[in-house]
């Protein structure tokens, strides 16, 4: 499981991306990103998460976004992120 | 709040962030990479790229790529003029699936389809294509709406301006480099001209052949010992090379007289500093003090010099430098009426006349430079080359220099110790 921080911007987004890609490279087939601490995700953060989803898809892995707050769920729904991940 | 409004607020947030990113003086490549993230994140776009247009190769070269895979071409050619004209018409997003009539989209069709690229946005600034944005499918899998295309265009405009600015900077840097090369060439031509002038001046006087060139070199040594910048040292050298340019107008028989010239001839010869000034003044020298050196190089600190009988502080510093160099060369070269004087005598003469004819700080700097060369502290053989090894390495010259420098600087720490002559005692 990868834990996302309070504010997902370029810096923290790239840290999540690094951790996720490291696990996917190692052969992980179900990756969970925990958003329990996350309050805000900016556009760069969304773009980086979409990149992680794309990489996982290429490698045949599924992604779970867990403990996502209501506002972030709305954002994910609006931008289509939720179509590619399981929200738990 | 309606979802449409949410989307607008989210997109405007990204647009504001993009404006800030572009105006920050960050690394250009990083700025473009972040800009691509902002477009993708604003509209939920799965993948894309930003390319910069090269006018020379007519290519779109990728500068930021997201999710297009390793096999996606990093350089795409815009082969025909028609295509380039078409794309320069304006910043309207082109739906790639609808644009296959253009050769560009036919050639790269397989690559575009493989990564599901849907939109191509030419970046046009001042009616010139500067780059392009490629965008893949949205995460919603829905087609791009008109308002989303407008947002992409607005953001693309920022990116286009950033690329155009970068191109402009590169152009300015290239011009600056060309100017620098041209300046170096002109400088070299200027120095060659100055040396040619010096040779012309020296040609007129068969007894003092090479005098102007040596005065230039000695002036250079003094300036360098004073710690002047390289440009100032160069200026001092030029002032030395040209200090006697006024002699070009003096009759050859006076200059070459193999005897001490009479008062009338002397008056004629003494006009040369003022004439030299008149000759040099209209020339735009990179070193503005060159004409002053010519005019005042025969002035003395005690006011007994010519042409104006100036005193110490009235004399331009560059003229004091050239005066010392000029006198030193006169003492150390054979003249028709006078043989060169031994180095030790010359050192004594400089010391005796420091404060009368010569500025004392110049004498100590000059003699200090000579001592450094003779003791091996300075490996440049500047004095030896100009005066000859035998002359410079005469017996006792090193001790003489040490004594003289100590005497001329009694209040400074006892730096110049005549160890060879008096053991380890300090010299007072």
Q: What is the ipTM of this complex?
A: 0.92
**pLDDT at position B52:** 95
**pLDDT at position B287:** 87
pLDDT tier for residue B425 given thresholds of 50, 70 and 90:
very low
Least confident of A34-38, A78-82, B225-229, B419-423: B419-423
Which residue's entry shows tokens 């849907």? B118
Question: CA of B170, closest CA in chain A: separation in Å?
Answer: 28
Torsion-angle region of B130 (φ positive above 0: left; ψ -120 to 50: alpha; else: beta) = alpha
Question: CA of B109, closest CA in chain A: separation in Å?
Answer: 21
What proportion of chain B, given as a percentage, has pLDDT over 90?
Answer: 59
List, for residues B221-254, the tens digit of each pLDDT value: 999 999 999 999 999 999 999 999 998 888 888 8
Least confident of B6-15, B138-147, B200-209, B258-267: B200-209
Residue B320 burial (CB count, 10 A):
23
Chain A residues touching residue B40 (CB < 8 angstroms)? 43, 46-47, 50
Mean per-residue pLDDT over chain B, rounded: 88
Interface of A with B (CB under 8 A): 10, 42-48, 50-51, 53-55, 74-75, 78-81, 83-84
d(Cα B207, Cα B28) in Å, to the nearest integer? 65
Q: Say if residue B411's pLDDT is above 60.
A: no
More confident residue, B297 or B82: B297
**pLDDT at position B196:** 86
Under 8 Å CB-to-CB from B295, ≥6 apart: which residues? Answer: B273, B274, B276, B277, B307, B319
List, for residues A58-74, the tens digit of each pLDDT value: 999 999 999 999 999 99
**pLDDT at position A34:** 94
d(Cα B114, Cα B177) in Å, to the nearest integer? 44
Which residue's entry shows tokens 């009616």? B127
Chain A residues touching residue B36 (CB < 8 angstroms)? 47
Q: What is the pTM of this model?
A: 0.62
What proportion of chain B, given as a percentage, has pLDDT over 70?
Answer: 94
List, for residues B295-348, the tens digit of each pLDDT value: 999 999 999 999 999 999 999 999 999 999 999 999 999 876 778 899 999 999
Chain A residues touching residue B141 (CB < 8 angstroms)? 80, 83
By CA distance, what is B47's nearest residue in A?
A51
Chain A residues touching residue B41 (CB < 8 angstroms)? 42-48, 50, 79
Strands B128-136 and A62-66, by their bridges, are unpaired
More confident residue, B24 or B283: B283
More confident residue, B196 or B240: B240
pLDDT, average across residues B32-51 = 94
Contact A10 B37 (CB under 8 A): yes
d(Cα A39, Cα A43) in Å, to the nearest integer? 14
pLDDT, average across residues B133-159 = 93
Preceding omega of B307 cis (within 30 degrees of 0): yes
């Amino acid at each position: 499981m990868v834990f996302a921080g309070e504010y997902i911007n370029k810096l923290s987004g790239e840290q999540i991306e690094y951790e996720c890609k490291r696990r996917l490279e190692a052969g992980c087939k179900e990756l969970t990103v925990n958003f329990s601490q996350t309050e805000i995700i900016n556009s760069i953060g969304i773009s980086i998460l979409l990149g992680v989803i794309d990489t996982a898809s290429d490698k045949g892995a599924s992604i779970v976004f867990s403990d996502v707050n209501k506002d972030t769920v709305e954002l994910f729904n609006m931008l289509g992120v939720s179509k590619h991940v399981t929200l738990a | 709040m309606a979802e449409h409004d949410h989307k607008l607020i989210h997109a405007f947030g990204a647009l504001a962030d993009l404006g800030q990113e572009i105006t920050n003086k960050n690394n250009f490549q990083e700025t473009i990479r972040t800009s691509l993230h902002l477009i993708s994140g604003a509209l939920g776009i799965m993948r894309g790229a930003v390319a910069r247009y090269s006018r020379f190769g007519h290519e779109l070269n990728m500068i930021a790529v997201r999710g297009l895979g390793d096999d996606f071409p990093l350089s795409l050619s815009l082969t025909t003029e028609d295509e380039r004209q078409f794309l320069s018409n304006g910043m309207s997003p082109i739906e790639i699936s609808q644009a296959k009539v253009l050769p560009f989209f036919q050639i790269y069709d397989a690559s575009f389809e493989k990564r599901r690229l849907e939109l191509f946005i030419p970046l046009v600034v001042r009616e010139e294509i500067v780059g392009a944005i490629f965008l893949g499918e949205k995460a919603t899998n829905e087609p791009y709406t008109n308002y989303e295309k407008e947002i992409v265009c607005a953001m693309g405009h920022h990116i286009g301006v950033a690329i155009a600015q970068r191109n402009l900077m590169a152009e300015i840097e290239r011009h600056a480099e060309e100017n620098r090369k041209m300046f170096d060439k002109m400088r070299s031509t200027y120095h060659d001209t100055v040396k040619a002038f010096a040779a012309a001046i020296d040609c007129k006087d068969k007894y003092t052949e090479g005098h102007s060139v040596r005065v230039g070199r000695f002036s250079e040594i003094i300036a360098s010992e004073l710690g002047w910048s390289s440009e100032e040292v160069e200026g001092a050298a030029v002032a030395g090379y040209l200090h006697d340019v006024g002699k070009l107008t003096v009759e050859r028989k006076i200059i070459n007289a193999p005897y001490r010239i009479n008062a009338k001839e002397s008056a004629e010869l003494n006009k040369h500093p003022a004439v030299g000034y008149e000759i040099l003044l209209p020339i735009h020298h990179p070193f503005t003090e060159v004409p002053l050196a010519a005019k005042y190089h025969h002035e003395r600190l005690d006011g007994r010099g010519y042409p104006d009988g100036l005193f110490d502080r009235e004399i331009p510093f560059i003229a004091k430098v050239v005066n010392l160099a000029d006198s030193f060369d006169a003492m150390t070269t054979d003249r028709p009426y006078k043989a060169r004087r031994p180095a030790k005598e010359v050192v004594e003469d400089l010391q005796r006349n420091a404060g009368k004819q010569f500025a004392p700080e110049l004498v100590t700097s000059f003699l200090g430079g000579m001592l450094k060369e003779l003791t091996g502290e300075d490996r440049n053989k500047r004095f030896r080359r100009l005066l000859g090894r035998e002359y410079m390495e005469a017996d006792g010259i090193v001790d003489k220099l040490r004594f003289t420098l100590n005497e001329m600087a009694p209040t400074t720490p006892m730096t110049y110790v005549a160890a060879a002559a008096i053991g380890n005692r300090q010299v007072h």
